[in-house]
Amino acid sequence: MKGKNLIRILALTLIISYTALYIMQATGYYEYSNHKTNVMTEQAAKKFEEDVKKGKDVKASDYITKDINYNNKISKGGIMLCSLIDTVFDKVMKFVFKEVGKAVSE
């Protein structure tokens, strides 16, 4: 009995984790962060052009924003977990539909 509950809890946890990660990807969180970077780059280019017009001393380092790397063990683990869940889910669904197809055709 405890084994069944453990499997159910584990399966539910995996499904919820996969769903959450999928929703984050589907809603465009990554694209939004890229858009913000692009906007900052455009603002830096405008500032550069203004400073050139004003005749100021221009250094490239003043206009280049340092990219912050937010990757850490937790985010990498989440991506690996999502990939693992995706692979397992895909194999299980293929197996289930193959068996259902066999049962229906018999």
pLDDT in tens, 64-74: 666 666 677 87
Task: Band the pLDDT of 97: cuts 50, 70, 90.
Answer: confident
**Domain ranges in the chain?**
69-106
Tell me the three state secondary structure of residue 59. coil
What span, in angstroms and rounded, lies between the C-alpha atoms of 34 and 9? 36
User: Which uninterrupted H or E stretch holds 105?
Assistant: helix 73-105
Question: What confidence tens digit (pLDDT) does each residue in 39-78 have?
Answer: 667 777 788 788 888 888 877 667 666 666 667 787 778 7
* pTM score, whole prediction: 0.37
Contact of 75 with 20, CB cutoff 8 Å: no
Contact of 82 with 17, CB cutoff 8 Å: yes
Sequence length of the chain is 106
